[in-house]
Chains A and B, each alone.
Chain A
Amino acid sequence: MANTDPIMVRGLNHWFGQGEARKQALFDINLSVVKGSLTVLVGPSGSGKTTLLTLMGCLRDVQDGSVRLMGHELLGANRALTETLRRRTGVIFQAHNLHDSLTAMQNVLMGLQVHGLRRTPETEAAARHMLQLVGLADRTDYLPANLSGGQKQRVAVARALVGSPEVVLADEPTAALDREAGLAVVRMLKQLGQARGTSTVMVTHDPRILDLADRIVEIDEGRLT
C-alpha cells in the first residue's frame, strides 16, 4: 500500500548556499505520510523542519533524493506539474500573508478561484461556511487591517482549507493564535483528515497538539531521529 501514501520522501538531502558557504540542512530523510493522518514535525530551532515542509509542498526545488507528492515525483518537476500539485495542497504559513486589499471573504475566495471557480452563490456559501468554522462568521467583510493577528491567521487557515486540499502543510499555524483557537484549528484539521482523507503535516511546539497527533516525527540537525 506504500505507493498510495500522499507523501513519500526517500533519501532526501538538501543544501543551502554556494561554494564555501554551502551547508547541508537535510541528511538522508526517509518519511511516509499515511492518508488521512495528522503528522506533527518537532525539533529544535534550525533543525530543518521548515526546509522539509517546503520541499514536500513543492515550494522549493528538490536537489537530491526523491519526494513523491500525491504520486508525482518532485525531483525535476516542471512548472505545470508544480502548479497543479500546489493547487491540491493547502499551505498555512507562520505569517498570515493575507492580501491587504481583499476582505476576509475575498481572501478565502482566492482559495477557490485558483481552481477556476468564479464567485457564485455556491462558492460564496462555501467560503462563508469555512469562515464560520474558524469562528469568523461575523467578520467576512473585514479587511485584514481591521482583524486581530489571530483572526487573520484563521482567515489564512480558511483560505488553505476551502479548496478541499488532499494534503495540508502547516508551519506553526497556531503560533499567532490563543490556546483555545489554536487547538480548535488543529481539531478541525484532524476532523477534515478523518472526514475527507486529508493528510496533514504540521510543525508545532505546542505540547497539547502533540496529543492529537497520529504520528510525531522528530528532526534534529537535519536528521530524523
Chain B
Amino acid sequence: MSRLLEWLFGRLPIGWLQLMHRRTRFGAALAGVAFANVLVFVQVSLMNSMSLATLKPYDFFQADIMISAQDANSLSEGGNVARQWMFQAMQDPEVTAGMGLMMANVSWPRVQKTLTLTTFGVDPEQSGFLSPGIADKVALLQLRDSALLDRLSRGLPRDEAAAIRPQSSASFEVSGKTLSINDTFAGGGGFGGDGYMIVSDQTFLDLFPARSSAAPDHILLKVAPGADPDAVAARLRKIITDKALRIRSYAAAKAEDLVYQQTKRPTGIIFGFGVLIGVLVGIVIVYQVLSADVADHLSEYATFKAMGYPRRFFLGVVFEEALILAFLGFIPGAIIGTAILTLMRKATTLPLTMTPGMATTVFVATLVTCVVSGAIATRRLSAADPADLF
C-alpha cells in the first residue's frame, strides 16, 4: 500500500504513514466515515424507493395530459374532477382521446393481515390509456366484478399470486359484492397501500355506489402524434373555465408529485434530514481526525517548512489523508449499507437496493465531504512556524 501510494504521489506517502502510525485513531476515523456512509446509503435508498413507489402507479397508464383537482398532489389523493371538463378539453383539435380515472382504496381481509389495495377504475373500451402489461388483459376487465391484482402486493405470498389465472381465480368480498381476481400485473408496494388493483369503471361504481362516472378522480388525455403535451396543456388551461384545476402534461404531473413527496411530506423531509445528518457526521469526524493529526505534527510540519517544503506539500498530505479516509471508509460503509438494505427490503418489500449509480453518487459525495473537511483542517497548518522551532 505504502509503495503504491509512493509511486502514485511521487513522494513518501506521509499521510498514509501518519494515519497508520496512530492505528486507533485511524480505525475510529474509518468507523466514523463508514457509519456516515451507511446512514446516507439507507436514507438515499429510502428516498430512491420512495421515488420509485411514487412513480409506479403512473406507469400503469399511458397518457399525455392529466387534469386533477387543485388538492390532488398525487394519483391517490385529492378531490374529483367534473367529467364535463374532459368533453371541453376534447374540443381542442390536438386532443384525441380522454378517459376518466377513478381511484379508491379496497381492503382485502386475509388471515394474517388485511391488504389495502389502491384500486383504479378504468374504461375497458379505452385500452390505449393502459400500459401494455395491463392492456393485454383488458378483456378480463370487461367481465362484471372482475379485477386485476398487483402480484407484487406486500403481504401476498408470491406463489399464491402466481397461481392466480383466469381459470383459477381468487375472490373476496367487498361491500357485500364478490370480486373475482382473474389475473395479475406487476405493481409493487409503495409507502401508502400494500399494492394495486385495477377494475373497470362499471365494477368500480358497483363497489362504490356513492361515486359517479360524471366525477372521476383524474382525467387523462391523449394528444395527436407530434403535438407537444405541454403546449396543449397550456392551451387547455386557457380554455377550461375552472381555473382551480391542475392541468399538466402527464410527465409534469409525475415530476411534481415526486417533488411533493420529497419536500412536502414528512417522510421525504425526514429522509432528507437523514442524508444531511449523515453528511454532517462525516464532515465532523473527518475534520476532527485530520485537525488533530495536523495539531500533533505541528513541529514536524514546521521542520519541513524550514527545509523548504512549499505550502502545497502540506495541503497534499492533508488531502492524502482525507482521500484515504474516504476510500477506506467507503468500502465497509458500502458493504454494511448493502447488508442493512437487504434486511430492510426483506422486512418491508420496498424496492430498497443499492444501485451502482447510488453507490457512485455516495462515493463521490464521500470524497467531496472528506476533501471539504480536509480543507477546513488545513487552516491549522499556518500555525506551524519554523521560527518557533528553536
User: A101, B11: Cβ atoms under 8 Å?
Assistant: no
> B245-253, B296-304, B359-367: which one contacts chain A?
B296-304
| A80 to B: closest C-beta gap in Å | 8
Q: How far is the CA of A99 from the CA of B14 in the complex (A)?
A: 9
* Chain A interface (Cβ < 8 Å from any Cβ of B): 50, 53-54, 57, 59-60, 79, 83-89, 91, 93-95, 97-102, 106, 109-111, 113-114, 118-119, 159-160, 171
In the complex, the answer to whether B17 meets A102 with C-beta atoms within 8 Å is yes
Measured CB to CB, the nearest residue on chain B to A109 is B12
B300 near A97 with CB under 8 A, answer yes
Is the pair A59, B387 in contact by a Cβ cutoff of 8 Å? yes
A84 touching B308 by the CB < 8 A rule?
yes
A203 to B305, CA, bound (A): 21
Q: Which residues of B contact A94 (CB under 8 A)?
A: 390
Can you list 22 pairs linking A and B with CB atoms under 8 Å apart? A60-B387, A79-B311, A83-B308, A83-B310, A86-B306, A86-B308, A93-B306, A93-B389, A95-B299, A97-B302, A99-B14, A99-B300, A100-B297, A101-B20, A102-B14, A109-B12, A110-B304, A113-B12, A114-B308, A114-B309, A118-B10, A171-B390
Question: With the chains together, A118 CA to B6 CA distance in Å?
Answer: 9
| Interface size bracket, B side | 20 to 34
Given the complex of chains A and B, what is the CA–CA distance between A109 and B304 in angstroms? 12
Say if the beta carbon of B142 comes within 8 Å of chain A: no
Contacting residues, chain B, for A109 (C-beta < 8 A)? 12
Of the candidates A60, A86, A110, which one forms a contact with B12 in the assembled complex, judged by CB atoms under 8 Å apart?
A110
Q: Which residues of A contact B306 (CB under 8 A)?
A: 57, 59, 86, 91, 93
Whole-angstrom distance between the alpha carbons of A55 and B18 in the complex?
A: 31
A94 to B390, CA, bound (A): 6
Kindly list chain B residues whose C-beta atoms are within 8 Å of the C-beta of A95.
299, 389
* Residue with the greatest number of chain B CB neighbours at <10 A, chosen from A88, A98, A119: A119
B19 CB to nearest chain A CB (Å): 8
- Which of B20, B307, B387, B389 lies at the interface centre, i.e. has the most chain A CB atoms within 10 A of its CB? B307
Pairs A-B, 10 closest by C-beta atoms: A87-B308, A86-B308, A101-B21, A97-B303, A60-B387, A59-B386, A101-B17, A50-B390, A99-B300, A101-B18
Residue of A nearest to B389 (CB): A93
Give the residues in chain A near B305, CB-CB below 8 Å: 86
For B308, what are the chain A residues with a Cβ–Cβ distance below 8 Å?
A: 83-89, 114
CA distance A87 to B389 in the complex (A): 17
A118 to B7, CA, bound (A): 9
Does A93 lie within 8 Å of B303, measured CB to CB?
yes
In the bound assembly, the distance between CA atoms of A55 and B307 in angstroms comes to 14
Q: Give the residues in chain B near A119, CB-CB below 8 Å.
A: 6, 12
Annotate B280-312 by CB proximity to A: 1 below 8 A, 0 otherwise: 000000000000000001011011111111110
Q: How far, in whole Å, are A58 and B237 apart by their CA atoms in the complex?
A: 75
With a cutoff of 8 Å between Cβ atoms, the chain A residues found around residue B386 in the complex are 54, 59, 91
Q: Are A100 and B387 in contact (CB under 8 A)?
A: no
Q: Which of A79, A98, A111, A118 contacts B11 (CB 8 A)?
A: A118
What 4 new A-B contacts, CB under 8 Å, besides A83-B309, A94-B390? A98-B300, A99-B303, A102-B14, A106-B17
Residues of B within 8 A of A53 (CB): 390
Across the interface, which residues of B come within 8 angstroms of A118, CB to CB? Answer: 10-11
Tell me how far the C-beta of A62 lies from the nearest C-beta in chain B, rounded to whole angstroms. 12
CA distance in complex: A176, B21 (Å): 25
State how many angstroms separate the Cβ of A172 from the closest Cβ of chain B: 9
Select from chain B the residue with minimum beta-carbon distance to A169.
Answer: B306
User: Which residues of chain A have C-beta atoms less than 8 A from B21's C-beta?
Assistant: 100-101
Within the complex, the shortest CB–CB distance from B150 to chain A, in Å, comes to 59
Among residues of A, the one whose C-beta sits closest to the C-beta of B311 is A79
For residue A102, give the distance in angstroms from its CB to the closest CB of chain B: 6
- Which chain A positions have C-beta within 8 A of B12? 102, 106, 109-110, 113, 119
- Across the interface, do B300 and A100 meet the contact criterion of CB distance under 8 Å? yes
Question: Which among A85, A89, A94, A113 has the highest number of chain B CB atoms within 10 Å?
Answer: A113
- B-chain residues with CB within 8 Å of residue A83 when the two chains form the complex: 308-310
Q: Judging by beta carbons under 8 Å apart, are A101 and B387 in contact?
A: no
**Distance, CA A15 to CA B146, complexed state (A):** 97
Specify the chain A residue showing the minimal Cβ separation from B386: A59
Nearest Cβ distance between residue A193 and chain B, in whole angstroms? 20
> How long is the Cα–Cα vector from A97 to B389 in the complex, in angstroms?
9
B17 and A111: CB pair below 8 A? Answer: no
Q: Which of B6, B12, B304, B308 has the most CB of A within 10 A?
A: B308
Interface core residue of A89, A111, A114, A159 (most chain B CB under 10 Å): A114
Residues from chain A with Cβ under 8 Å of B310 in the complex: 83
In the complex formed, the residue of A with least CB distance to B387 is A60
Could you say which residues of chain B place their CB within 8 Å of the CB of A102?
12, 14, 17
> In whole angstroms, what is the CA distance A53 to B389 when docked?
12
Closest B residue to A113 by CB, please name it. Answer: B11
Q: How far is the CA of A84 from the CA of B389 in the complex (A)?
A: 20
- A142 vs B389: C-alpha distance when bound (angstroms): 24
Task: Give the CA-CA distance A61 to B193 in the complex, in Å.
Answer: 73
Shortest Cβ distance from B306 into chain A, in angstroms?
5
Whether the Cβ atoms of B309 and A99 lie closer than 8 Å is no
Shortest Cβ gap from B367 to chain A (Å): 24
Q: With a CB–CB cut-off of 8 A, which chain B residues contact A60? A: 387
